[in-house]
Homo-oligomer: A and B are copies of this chain.
Amino acid sequence: MFSKACEYGIKAAIFIALKSYQGERVSLKDIAAKIDSPEAFTAKILQKLAKNDIVDSIKGAAGGFEIEKHKIASIQLAKIVDAIDGDSIYIGCGLGLNKCSEDHPCPVHHKFASVREELKKMLESTNLEELALGIKSGASYLKT
């Protein structure tokens, strides 16, 4: 469904949000360990998230990643997915047709529409705060 990069990005963002919520800044090393991802690859993804204003990166000793507390609740899953995988998940044709629209649909166009719509709604209505709280409360997990 999502690329590995996107999976790591979502998990990293959730972990950073969780820690930022508690006033802590986290290092790449920490993140990779807690979400069980390859460190250097995760670094690249965090750069993307930083460039898309989803996380703040602070250089130097005692540096790391954080998200401003007041922003956590306003960052939707959709924003993260879009930053990493782009919008193909919303707009692309399910069968890869170059031109696939209402008046030139692929065979599964209408069948897919509702699934895609549901996915879109889900991504747009889910924010980092609730996901971080799920981890904090032990209701959900970031690895294994």
Instruction: Give, as a whole number of angstroms, the nearest-CB distance from A100 to chain B.
Output: 8
A95: Cβ under 8 A from any B Cβ? yes
Q: Which of A14, A94, A104, A111 has the most CB of B within 10 A?
A: A111
Closest to A141 in B: B104
A96 in complex: contacting residue of B4, B95, B134, CB < 8 Å: B4
Chain A 91-144 interface residues, beta-carbon cutoff 8 Å to B: 92, 94-99, 104-109, 111-112, 114-115, 118-119, 122, 126, 131, 134-135, 139-144
Q: How many copies does the complex hold?
A: 2
Contacting pair A108 B131 (CB below 8 A): yes
Chain A 40-71 interface residues, beta-carbon cutoff 8 Å to B: none
A115 in complex: contacting residue of B98, B118, B143, CB < 8 Å: B118
Which residues of chain B have C-beta atoms less than 8 A from A2's C-beta? Answer: 94-95
Query: How many A residues touch B, CB cutoff 8 Å?
Result: 39
Give A115 to B122 CA distance when docked, in angstroms. Answer: 8
Closest to A35 in B: B95
A11: Cβ under 8 A from any B Cβ? yes
Contacting pair B119 A115 (CB below 8 A): yes
Give A96 to B11 CA distance when docked, in angstroms. Answer: 10
Which residues of chain B have C-beta atoms less than 8 A from A140's C-beta? Answer: 105-107, 109
Contacting pair B144 A98 (CB below 8 A): yes
Contacting pair A10 B108 (CB below 8 A): yes
